[in-house]
A = this chain, B = another copy of it.
Amino acid sequence: VREIFEAELKQLGDDLEAMSRLVERAITDAGRALLDADLTLAQSVIASDREIDDLQRDLDDQCVRLLAQQAPVATDLRTVVSALRMSGNLERMGDLARHVAQLARGRYPGHALPPTVSDTFSRMNDAAVRVAHRATELLATRDLALATTIERDDDLLDILHEQTFAAMLSPDWLGSVQETVDVTLASRYYERFGDHAVHVARRITYLVTGDVPVELS
């Protein structure tokens, strides 16, 4: 029985990793769609979000089945409950990537972002892609050094988010109202993307160290 259970726990981990890999692909493509006004990429991100949602549903069903059939305790229970939580974070990260892609699609063939902020968003997107990539690696390896780099990139995302707002509020800002709305939303999406990755990082840290983190909710 223990062997079957171990295999099922491993499956949970593999599915989380697969979800995270899809999220990584989604934010990579969404960022390119946004920065290059690439409609094909935008549409593929929007269409693929369903895969992430389906994986979450499967994963959650699996967790509930495991809880019912195996009645796990201690570390095993923490693993299953954490999987339920992290699947929620990854699903939201997928939604946020989709929202970025929808902004790009909505302005096509134009660019959603005025050129003055494209450098900042390019950096935001790089940070978000790194964060997603490291979440995948962290789920696979549980190497906590990755959790630290995720926190650092989330801090960077917060700084870039503030820079974006500062740029809009400076007297030099020449963006249209539509651009102001889009930049506000896109910046918020990236900032939230980082927050969810941090939750994943803290969950894994908790699973590895057993220390309840400052802020996990």
Given the known inter-chain contacts A178-B169, A188-B185, please indicate yes or no for A68 contacting B64, CB distance below 8 A: no
Let me know if B181 and A88 touch, CB within 8 A. Answer: no
Complex contact A177–B180 (CB within 8 A): yes
Tell yes or no: A173 within 8 A of B by CB: yes
Chain A 159-198 interface 0/1 with B at a Cβ cutoff of 8 Å (1 = within): 0000001001100010101101100110010000000000
Q: How far apart sit A178 and B68, CA to CA, in the bound complex (Å)?
A: 52
Write out the residue numbers on chain B whose beta carbons fall within 8 Å of the beta carbon of A84.
81, 84
Is the beta-carbon distance between A169 and B165 smaller than 8 angstroms? no
- Give chain B residues whose Cβ lies under 8 Å from the Cβ of A188: 185, 188
Give A4-16 as 1s and 0s: 1 = Cβ < 8 Å from B's Cβ atoms: 0000000000000
CA distance A108 to B144 in the complex (A): 42
Which residues 43-86 of A sit at the B interface, judged by CB distance below 8 A? 53, 56-57, 60, 63-64, 67-68, 71, 73-74, 77-78, 81, 84-85
Q: Is A24 an interface residue (CB 8 A)?
A: no
Interface residue? A217 (CB, 8 A): yes
CA distance A217 to B85 in the complex (A): 11
A91: CB under 8 A from chain B? yes
B184 near A180 with CB under 8 A, answer yes
Whether A217 pairs with B74 at a CB distance below 8 angstroms is no
Known: A68-B74, A68-B77, A88-B217. 18 other contacts (CB 8 A): A56-B217, A60-B217, A63-B81, A64-B77, A67-B77, A68-B73, A81-B84, A84-B84, A91-B217, A165-B181, A168-B177, A169-B178, A173-B177, A177-B180, A180-B181, A180-B184, A185-B188, A188-B188
